[in-house]
A and B are shown apart, each in its own frame.
Chain A
Amino acid sequence: MEHAVETFSLTKIFSDWWGRNKVYAVDDLNLQVRGNEIFGLLGPNGSGKTTTIKLLLGLLYPSKGKAVVLGGDGADPKISARIGFLPEESYLYRYLNARETLDFYGRLFGLPANVRTMRIEALLDMVGLKAVANRPVGTFSKGMARRIGLAQALINDPDLLILDEPTTGLDPIGTRQIKDLILELAKRGKTILLCSHLLADVEDVCDRIAILYGGKIHAEGQVRDLLLQTNKKQITTGAISDTTIERIKRLIKDEHADCVVTSPMDKLETFFIKAVADAQQQARPTSGAVSTTEISAFLAAEASQKNILDKLVSASVSRETPSEPTATEQVVGVDTSEPESDEQLLRKLTKPAEPARPGPVPPNRKITTEPVKPKAHEQDEDKKSILDQLIRQMPDSTSPKDNTEQTDKNQ
């Protein structure tokens, strides 16, 4: 099948109870999303993005026209088993906790128990909610609920992922993760239909976009083609001297073109990620989401193998043996003030969170002077006594993991 999603003059007219007040929410829409592409649906508020998605999924019935999803009707269980859907707000059962929520949706897909548990754990890890997995979802912050919503959409390993403004309420790291995740999934041959008006997000990930206005497509095409300014060129260099700049300017002048020279600014996203990375290295307590890149492991394993079960088994194995040396390396390297790329920073930020994951309230120094030991210590049975000593001796150490690090260095 060529198109993952195709609509044929899809129209949705809302009218009130008496049949008056007609709203053309979607108007004669012909949309084509090819298989294995990241398609962005853009548009101002009320332009019909959400309505289009609801029509695709059978939550609304079209007034005219029809929609074909994965070669069939989106409401057909055979088709919907292959779709992951994240609605515009995470509509979740408030009284279920995070794990139960995922379990419930897993059951709806009829996943066998062992697959379910493995996926749930992997997904909880991925969205960074493992530490709060036993709290009712109703008590979650907006972004945390969003993360569970995302996990819910991925529980069936969908072929088509429909995301309605996935990044609303998410912190920059979460946003970044979703973008990475989308790219990762696309690499794996999945199709993603993304709705958003955060243009930066769309620009980063989408292959093709359509801009809706008043329920009609206003512009459509490859992002690259739409945005490329063929009449301009940009040169990025390392630190160069003023004389060199003068020489370049002269060269350009010879071609009768204008040129502006400035120093590039860091993106705020990069800066934010760096700041949070610092905080996490110091293992500050948080009862919120803890970012990880576990999805990479989860997905990487999936890519290399065919059988879903195998994928998940290996995923869980690779999860249980976090790359210990890298973690140590990163903790040590955090002080280096060399500029780093976004990707490196992000990875650094998220990796150590697994071994050093603080509970909802990580033990801090004052608590650990008591004989009761926090859970993390149990792994280091043999080092217990040394650890205890260290905790008392070192007022600066803030987390058990840091202590271990220190111990290693001291030895």
Chain B
Amino acid sequence: MHSIWAVAANTIKQALRMKIAAVFIVLLIVLLPVMGVSMTGDGTLKGRLQTFVSYSLSLTNLLLCLLTIIVSIYTLTNDIKQKQIYTVITKPIRRFQLLLGKLLGVVLLNIALLVLFSAIIYTITVYTPKFYGASEADLDSMNNEFFTARAALTPPEVDVTAEVLDTYEKLKKTGQLPPEAGENEIKAELTRRKQLWKRAAVVGQWLVWEFNNVRVLDPNESLFIRYKYEVSINPPDMQVYSRWDVGDNRQYPPAYESFLRKDPIRTFRELEVPAYLIADDGYLAIRFLNVPLNRTTVIFPPDGLEVLYKADTFTANFVRVVLLILFRLVFLASLGTLAATFLSFPVAILFSLCIFFTATISGFCLESFDYLGEKLTWVYYYTVRPLILLLPQFDKFNPAQFLVPARIVPWSLLAKVAGLMICIKAFLLLLLALLIFKFREIAKIII
């Protein structure tokens, strides 16, 4: 253990004194406060905070990811190239201890930097409203929609398999199937259309969502319905008029409370409703009416409606978001260590960066590949897809995506990410690295 610590301490010294970390640290220390002052968002204080948190966290995340990759690779490849490792590995230290020491050094450095920078971001975020002397109303809206952590309820996707089969059979009988497309392709397309129709309301039509087990900590608080409209025809003023009924529709007359709204299309809006509308058994119904004032069909996109309620504090949520970043840094450190055990510095950097960027857009990759033609899909299914699934999905756990809408990062999600990204993926990488390093001839020079 003492040798692991010695190597870790040495690695940190190396990163700091060789000025690798210094570049990133200076950059962030300068940029973060500048961003705090210069970012204005949509002009409101809330918008300003949302933009700042989003950009500053993303920047910190990106720079620390790069730093992690570079340091974890540099520290090992440099030792091997400049042969300091000859004097280290001939001391009573096992090879896995050397690797673990390097990894520990990088992770400790990351923790320190992450704590530093997130503290800066947090401080700027919390003090900005005070600094600008926000009004009561502003503060109120910020406390409800930014300085909090809200859990979200999303309606489940409607099961349309039966309908799809039905339609498919009908089309088949009548011979209307397009000849060039395969069965799966047609079914997928049908499913998509059916589901879209479940989320669409023509003029004068109601849409109903029902939720069970809605548990709010404090019934005096509010619920927030967060929604976004798509339309079939753009209305002249780009606005949609609507009526929302929220309450319990199981009895007659239904205990609804109604809200009339006018919202711009294609942007997320929030409707605040009192929490007492939830029935005692946790049931909640929401109805949307496409009022006849509109001349267009209103469609909710797949993620277009959710019910938010306060579940935790901003600070606790912020800490969890930072932990999410730390997890990916640990993964990247393991990745860098692995690459360094068998590649030279530039190649290892290239390799790790490729993986990093693929992981950053892995969700997009998976989605876009899913639309490929049938034959290609088959190849893709057994080659690229498993590889992409092996990577962590960084974009799915993007830090800004949680803090901007004040969305809670539940501990369960954190545990899941930790388990998947660190306990399984990073661990496997490390295991592979140890294996490669154990059998590597340190003094062998390959040109």
**Neighbouring B residues of A96 by C-beta, 8 Å:** 10, 13
CB closest chain-B residue, reference A78: B92
**Neighbouring A residues of B86 by C-beta, 8 Å:** 59, 85, 87, 91
A108-B443 in contact given A77-B93, A91-B83, A93-B10 (Cβ < 8 Å): no
A104-B90 in contact given A60-B444, A87-B83 (Cβ < 8 Å): no
Q: Are A108 and B441 in contact (CB under 8 A)?
A: no
B446 interface residue (CB < 8 Å to A):
yes
Per the bound structure, the CA–CA distance linking A385 and B13 in Å amounts to: 45
Q: Are B82 and A104 in contact (CB under 8 A)?
A: no
Complex interface: stretch among B1-9, B114-122, B173-181, B337-345: B1-9
Q: Are A59 and B442 in contact (CB under 8 A)?
A: yes
Per the bound structure, the CA–CA distance linking A91 and B81 in Å amounts to: 10
Q: Are A108 and B84 in contact (CB under 8 A)?
A: no
Q: Are A107 and B2 in contact (CB under 8 A)?
A: yes
A: number of interface residues (CB 8 Å): 33
Q: Are B14 and A93 in contact (CB under 8 A)?
A: yes
Within A24-64, which residues are at the interface with B (CB < 8 Å)? 54, 57-61
CB closest chain-A residue, reference B6: A107
Per the bound structure, the CA–CA distance linking A230 and B3 in Å amounts to: 54
Measured CB to CB, the closest approach of chain B to A106, in angstroms, equals 9
Q: Are B92 and A152 in contact (CB under 8 A)?
A: no
A80 interface residue (CB < 8 Å to B):
yes
Q: Are A77 and B94 in contact (CB under 8 A)?
A: yes
**Neighbouring A residues of B3 by C-beta, 8 Å:** 107-108, 110
Q: Are B92 and A81 in contact (CB under 8 A)?
A: yes
A83 interface residue (CB < 8 Å to B):
yes
**Neighbouring A residues of B233 by C-beta, 8 Å:** none
Q: Are A95 and B87 in contact (CB under 8 A)?
A: no
**Neighbouring A residues of B82 by C-beta, 8 Å:** 91
Q: Are A91 and B441 in contact (CB under 8 A)?
A: no
Within A64-87, which residues are at the interface with B (CB < 8 Å)? 74-75, 77-78, 80-81, 83, 85, 87
Out of A61, A83, A85, name the residue touching B441 (CB < 8 Å). Answer: A61
Measured CB to CB, the closest approach of chain A to B413, in angstroms, equals 40
Q: Are A95 and B93 in contact (CB under 8 A)?
A: no
Measured CB to CB, the closest approach of chain B to A341, in angstroms, equals 37
B18 interface residue (CB < 8 Å to A):
yes
CB closest chain-A residue, reference B94: A77
Within B1-55, which residues are at the interface with A (CB < 8 Å)? 2-3, 5-7, 9-10, 13-14, 17-18
B91 interface residue (CB < 8 Å to A):
yes
**Neighbouring A residues of B84 by C-beta, 8 Å:** 91-93
Measured CB to CB, the closest approach of chain A to B193, in angstroms, equals 56
A109-B91 in contact given A87-B83, A91-B86, A92-B84 (Cβ < 8 Å): yes
Per the bound structure, the CA–CA distance linking A74 and B443 in Å amounts to: 15
**Neighbouring A residues of B10 by C-beta, 8 Å:** 93, 96, 104
**Neighbouring B residues of A57 by C-beta, 8 Å:** 90
Within B38-97, which residues are at the interface with A (CB < 8 Å)? 82-94
Measured CB to CB, the closest approach of chain A to B293, in angstroms, equals 71
Interface string of B432-447 (1 = CB under 8 A from A): 0000000001111010
Measured CB to CB, the closest approach of chain A to B447, in angstroms, equals 8
Measured CB to CB, the closest approach of chain B to A16, in angstroms, equals 8
Per the bound structure, the CA–CA distance linking A152 and B83 in Å amounts to: 15
Within B401-447, which residues are at the interface with A (CB < 8 Å)? 441-444, 446
A87-B18 in contact given A81-B92, A108-B3, A110-B3 (Cβ < 8 Å): no
**Neighbouring A residues of B441 by C-beta, 8 Å:** 59-61
**Neighbouring A residues of B87 by C-beta, 8 Å:** 85, 87, 91-92, 105, 149, 152
Measured CB to CB, the closest approach of chain B to A222, in angstroms, equals 29
Per the bound structure, the CA–CA distance linking A209 and B443 in Å amounts to: 25
Out of B6, B17, B443, name the residue touching A59 (CB < 8 Å). Answer: B443
B5, B83, B94 — most chain A CB neighbours (10 Å): B83
**Neighbouring B residues of A58 by C-beta, 8 Å:** 89-90
Measured CB to CB, the closest approach of chain A to B268, in angstroms, equals 50
Measured CB to CB, the closest approach of chain A to B292, in angstroms, equals 75
Q: Are B90 and A80 in contact (CB under 8 A)?
A: yes
A85-B90 in contact given A91-B82, A93-B84, A104-B10 (Cβ < 8 Å): yes
Measured CB to CB, the closest approach of chain B to A115, in angstroms, equals 13
CB closest chain-B residue, reference A77: B92
**Neighbouring A residues of B442 by C-beta, 8 Å:** 59-60
Interface string of A245-283 (1 = CB under 8 A from B): 000000000000000000000000000000000000000
Measured CB to CB, the closest approach of chain A to B23, in angstroms, equals 15
CB closest chain-B residue, reference A86: B87
**Neighbouring B residues of A107 by C-beta, 8 Å:** 2-3, 5-6
A110-B2 in contact given A59-B90, A91-B83, A92-B87 (Cβ < 8 Å): yes
B14, B85, B90, B92 — most chain A CB neighbours (10 Å): B90
**Neighbouring A residues of B89 by C-beta, 8 Å:** 58-59, 75
Measured CB to CB, the closest approach of chain B to A270, in angstroms, equals 34
CB closest chain-A residue, reference B442: A59
Per the bound structure, the CA–CA distance linking A57 and B14 in Å amounts to: 26
Q: Are A108 and B83 in contact (CB under 8 A)?
A: no
A77, A93, A152 — most chain B CB neighbours (10 Å): A93
Per the bound structure, the CA–CA distance linking A117 and B89 in Å amounts to: 22
CB closest chain-A residue, reference B14: A95
CB closest chain-B residue, reference A103: B6
Interface string of B89-112 (1 = CB under 8 A from A): 111111000000000000000000
CB closest chain-B residue, reference A74: B90
Per the bound structure, the CA–CA distance linking A96 and B79 in Å amounts to: 14
**Neighbouring A residues of B88 by C-beta, 8 Å:** 108
Per the bound structure, the CA–CA distance linking A59 and B95 in Å amounts to: 11
Per the bound structure, the CA–CA distance linking A149 and B442 in Å amounts to: 19
**Neighbouring A residues of B7 by C-beta, 8 Å:** 108
Interface string of A109-126 (1 = CB under 8 A from B): 110000000000000000
Per the bound structure, the CA–CA distance linking A85 and B92 in Å amounts to: 12
CB closest chain-B residue, reference A95: B17
**Neighbouring B residues of A54 by C-beta, 8 Å:** 443
**Neighbouring A residues of B13 by C-beta, 8 Å:** 95-96, 100
Per the bound structure, the CA–CA distance linking A352 and B17 in Å amounts to: 36
**Neighbouring B residues of A61 by C-beta, 8 Å:** 441
Q: Are B83 and A105 in contact (CB under 8 A)?
A: no
Out of A77, A108, A152, A156, name the residue touching B6 (CB < 8 Å). Answer: A108
Out of B6, B17, B446, name the residue touching A104 (CB < 8 Å). Answer: B6
> What are 21 A-B contacts with C-beta separation under 8 Å?
A59-B89, A60-B441, A60-B442, A77-B93, A85-B90, A87-B87, A91-B82, A91-B84, A93-B10, A93-B14, A93-B84, A95-B14, A104-B9, A105-B87, A105-B91, A108-B3, A108-B6, A108-B7, A109-B91, A109-B92, A110-B2
4 interchain residue pairs of minimum CB distance:
A77-B92, A107-B6, A59-B443, A95-B17
Contacts A91-B82, A149-B87 known; 9 new A-B pairs at CB < 8 A: A17-B446, A58-B89, A58-B90, A59-B89, A75-B90, A77-B93, A80-B90, A92-B87, A110-B2
- A residues at B contact (CB < 8 Å): 14, 17, 54, 57-61, 74-75, 77-78, 80-81, 83, 85, 87, 89, 91-93, 95-96, 100, 104-105, 107-110, 149, 152, 156
